[in-house]
Amino acid sequence: MKVLWAPWRMEYVSSDSKKGECIFCPGADRSQDEERLILFIGNLSIVLMNRFPYINGHLLIAPLRHVSTLDALLPEEKLDLITRVENSIGVLKEVLRPEGFNIGLNLGKVAGAGVEDHIHLHIVPRWIGDTNYMTVFGEVRVIPEHIQETYRKLLPFFK
């Protein structure tokens, strides 16, 4: 048997997550934005990088208002979310040059929502020959670039 090492997963599996704090609620303190991988905070939405991505550039987009369902969103919030998705795809195309995207929304725990109390969209860039199958077969994700490096590349385009 071959062993595939994914030491970055230890942070995830052993984390003692802060109870009561939502990763999508930015709060007033901007000093932790880089540590929290926040790329953009607008009037109605937030864009941040997924700390445990499927692949480099995996972004999360959420309304600023803490809601858990699509029908709870106001019309202007829905429009803003789709506009943020469109803008984020543009940034990813320019910076990382993916060949395609998976864009999704997981509603409810059984649908895979890791944070089910605050609705959010996933944008996952894809390349021909990427290693997405590794998660299924080896319970490992192959991320070719350090997450902080990807953050530094993307951040100027969200300002």
Tell me which residues are annotated as active site.
120
- Extended strands (E) in the chain: 38-41, 45-49, 59-63, 100-105, 121-126
Please state at what angle helix 75-95 crosses helix 147-154, rounded to 10 degrees.
110
Strand 59-63 and strand 121-126: the pairing is: antiparallel
The amino acid at 12: Y
CA 59, distance to chain mean position in Å, is 3
CA distance 153 to 91: 10
CA 88, distance to chain mean position in Å, is 11
